[in-house]
Structure 1
C-alpha cells in the first residue's frame, strides 16, 4: 500500500522462497468494479495477468460503521461496506482508502475513518431490531448481548436463501445499498446470498453470467431461481412470483410483471 500509516515491513524471504510474478503475453482486460487495477496502480495479486506501473500489497482492515463504496472520489455509491466486514486497502489518498471489499468483492473508495483494525467476526446480523444493520458482522463479545433470533454464527448460516430473502420484505430501495438500510437489485441478491453463506458479487450483469448455472427456457421456474430481466434481477419464490426491489423496496410481485426474462440461473 502506498501510505506509510499502514506500512508493513516486507517479510524476510530468501530469493528461493519469495513469490515472484511473471506476466506473459498481453495484459488481460479487467473489470474495475471487481478487479483492483487502474492505469497507475494495481493489486499485486493481479500481477501475473495485469501490467501496471506500480503494484500494492493489500492491508486488511475492518469496517467500523456502514459506509458507501464509491467508484471515484466524490462519485455516486456503487456499493457499501457494513460493520465488521473486511476491506483490503491498497492506497490511501485525500481521506479515502481505495481497495477491495471482502464480502461482495467491490473495488472502490471508502472513507478512511470508516475503517479500523481487523476484527475476528463470529456472527452476522440477520434481522432488524438492533443498532447494527442486517449483514453486519460481529465478534462473539458483540453478539453476546443480542437475541439469538437476530444474529447467527457464521459457521451455522441457513441454507434456504429464499427464506432469508422473504424476511427482508419491506426494506427500502437505495441505489448502491446492500443492507437493511436499503438495497438495490444486485445488492439485495448479494446480501441474501451472503446471509446464507455464499459470497456473491453485487453487480447484476456479472451475476447474470456467474451465479449458479443457466436454466433452459423450457424448464419450470423453481423456488430460488434468479430471474434476470434487462439490468434487473429478482428471486423466484414459486412458479408465479418473485421477490423484487421496486420503487417501494423489496416486495413480492408476479413474474408476469417483471418484464421480458433474459435468463434464469439456479443456485446449487
Structure 2
C-alpha cells in the first residue's frame, strides 16, 4: 500500500470521525426539539384551559376581543408546530446524507485505486460540509423558534390575566346591580307604606302632616337615586381603568342595606 493511499485513507478516517461527531450533535438537537414539542403541548393545554374559561364569561365586546386573541395565538402555536415537523424532516434528510457519506467511505477504504479514492474523498468532504451548513441553519431556526415560544408564553399569560380581570369585573357588576335593585325595592316599599299610612291620616284631617312627610320621603328617594347614579358612574370609570390595567382590584361591595321602617 503506497504512502499516498495511506494518507488518503487517513483523511477519510478523519472525515468519518467528523460525521460521527455531527450525528451526536444532531442527536442533541433532536432532543432539544423533543423538549420544545413537550413545551408546545403545555402551551396548547394552557390555551384549551383558557378557552374553556370563556364559557363562564358574559358575552360582550371585551370577551369577543379576548376570544379573537386566543384564536390568533392558537394559530401561531400550530404554525410553530408545523415548523418543528419541518425541522425534523430536515434532520432525517441530513442523517440520510451522512449515512450515504459513511457508506462511500467504507467502500473507499477497501479500494486500492488512488484516483477513485481521491474522487470519493472530495465527495465525502463536500457532503460533510453541506451537512454542517444544514446543521447550523437548523440550530439558528431552533433558537429563533425558542425565542418565539417565550413570547407566545408571555402573551398567553397576559391573555389569561385579562380573562381573570373580566371575570372579576363581571362579578362586581352583578353584585352592584343586585345591591342597587335591592336598595330600590326597599325604598319603594318604604315610600309606599309611608304614603298609605300618612296619606290616610291627611285625608282624615291631620293638618297636612302626612303630605309633608310624603314629600320629605320623595326628596330622600331622589337624593338616594342621585347617589346611586353617581356611584354607577364611578364604577364604570373604575372598570374602564381596570381594563386598561392601571387600577388594582377593589374589595367586593358591601351587602345590600335595609332601610329602617
Q: Calculate the TM-score normalised by the size of structure 2.
A: 0.17
Whose strand proportion is higher, 1 or 2? 1
Whose helix proportion is higher, 1 or 2? 2
Q: Calculate the TM-score normalised by the size of structure 1.
A: 0.16
* Larger radius of gyration between Structure 1 and Structure 2: 2
